[in-house]
Amino acid sequence: MSARSCRGTLEAMKKRIRFSADRALQQGIDTIRQEGEALLALSACLGETFALCVACLLRIEGRVCVTGMGKSGHIARKVAATMASTGTPAYFIHPADASHGDLGMMTPRDALVAISNSGNTSELSDILFYAQAHALPVIAITSNPESPLGKHATHCLVLPTVHEACPLDCAPTTSTTMSLALGDALAMALMRERGFTPEDFKSFHPGGNLGQKLLRVRDIMHTGQSVPLCDVNDPMSVVIVEMSRKMLGCVGVRDHGRLVGIITDGDLRRAMCPEFLTKRAEELMTVSPHTIDAEASVATARQKMKRLKVTSLFVHLEKDNVGIVHIHDLE
């Protein structure tokens, strides 16, 4: 095809495309509104069966196997990951792979959560029969309780019958959103019943922003000889050496072992005068320095520093001991 004919084809294509910004925006709004209404309908129809499903999953000694085909498979994979990260051991099995050996991942102590909007997904048959043969409890998430999946399930969580947000009412949209929300609801209910704590969450998420947000001040603060400290009667020569050696931009001032003030590098610059070195720490310090509890989260420490416009916070410890956390420690 010549360059001229290519250009001609492109121009013809541009003419055929009739884009409407208003129509696109309205479709976006309609989609979100329709899916939101479906979620409200789903929450309204949750009942005793949901509680039975949570109790069932709490009782098992093994793990939760979550499965689904196609778009439901993507939802199932995410639900398994959410459960695993919030205290409920779980894993995902693709139905096609299950039929070719991955059924060996399942044990008689496990439970199965199967997701299919229609409940007629043929690829689920092998994993369902295997679960029944080994007496595994099966929880179905489907809109059709009379389907093969619904009838094979120990407990059936029924999705409300609603139209897909797809303009053709074909592409899984509203149904997958409801399935995801219901999977999250199971995971969160299990998390609460297990007494899962922020410390537990931190141990499962040691890396990235989540891990950092769940760190405590005690995990990162400077203690002992690394804390810049001086006495109220120390001259500025001692204060400068201490501040320079510890490199945290400030020095805590103590009186008989008790923290009573703080001197920052800014205080030193503002106090420069011919008799500067003869001054005592007590004369330049800011009394009652800002502090934070050792059990406070790193996120709380960062917010407090930002609000107070400071770069360091002292931490009161037992027996008049102190620690310090610097803004760079929070990054």
pLDDT of residue 99: 84
Confidence band for 169, pLDDT divided at 50, 70 and 90:
confident
pLDDT of residue 44: 95
pLDDT at 9 over 70: no
Q: Are residues 145 and 52 in the same domain?
A: yes
Q: Are residues 144 and 225 in the same domain?
A: no
Of 196, 226, 258, which one is at a domain's C-terminal end?
Answer: 196
Of 166, 196, 226, which one is at a domain's C-terminal end?
Answer: 196
Report yes or no on 7 lying in a domain: no
Three-class SS state of 313:
strand
pLDDT of residue 274: 84
Report yes or no on 14 lying in a domain: no
Task: Output the domain CATH number for residue 59.
Answer: 3.40.50.10490
pLDDT at 14 over 90: no
pLDDT at 3 over 60: no
Q: Are residues 28 and 127 in the same domain?
A: yes
Kindly calculate the radius of gyration of the chain based on its CA atoms and give it in whole angstroms. 31
Containing 93, the helix (H) or strand (E) segment is: strand 90-93
Q: Are residues 122 and 39 in the same domain?
A: yes
Q: Are residues 242 and 169 in the same domain?
A: no
Pick from 89-98, 184-193, 200-209: least confident: 200-209
Q: Are residues 313 and 274 in the same domain?
A: yes
Distances from the Cα of 317 to the Cαs of 2, 111, 263, 324, in angstroms? Answer: 79, 47, 20, 10
Mean pLDDT for 77-94 is: 93
Q: Are residues 182 and 254 in the same domain?
A: no
Domains: count for the chain: 2
The single-letter code of the amino acid at 227 is: V
Q: Are residues 102 and 230 in the same domain?
A: no
Q: Tell me which residue range forms the domain holding 160.
A: 22-196
pLDDT of residue 211: 58
Residues above pLDDT 70, as percent of the chain: 90
Residue 222: CB partners within 8 Å, gap ≥ 6? 248, 323, 324, 325, 326, 329
Pick from 29-38, 68-77, 202-211, 223-232: least confident: 202-211
Pick from 1-10, 65-74, 154-163, 273-282: least confident: 1-10
Q: Are residues 172 and 238 in the same domain?
A: no
Q: Are residues 128 and 232 in the same domain?
A: no
Report yes or no on 147 lying in a domain: yes
Query: Cα(46)–Cα(219) distance, rounded to whole angstroms?
Result: 41
Q: Are residues 222 and 175 in the same domain?
A: no
End-to-end CA gap in the chain: 56
Going across the sheet that includes 155-158, the strands are 90-93, 64-68, 111-115, 138-142, 155-158
pLDDT at 158 over 80: yes
Q: Are residues 159 and 79 in the same domain?
A: yes
Report yes or no on 290 lying in a domain: yes
Confidence band for 254, pLDDT divided at 50, 70 and 90:
very high
pLDDT at 209 over 60: no
Confidence band for 46, pLDDT divided at 50, 70 and 90:
very high
Report yes or no on 317 lying in a domain: yes
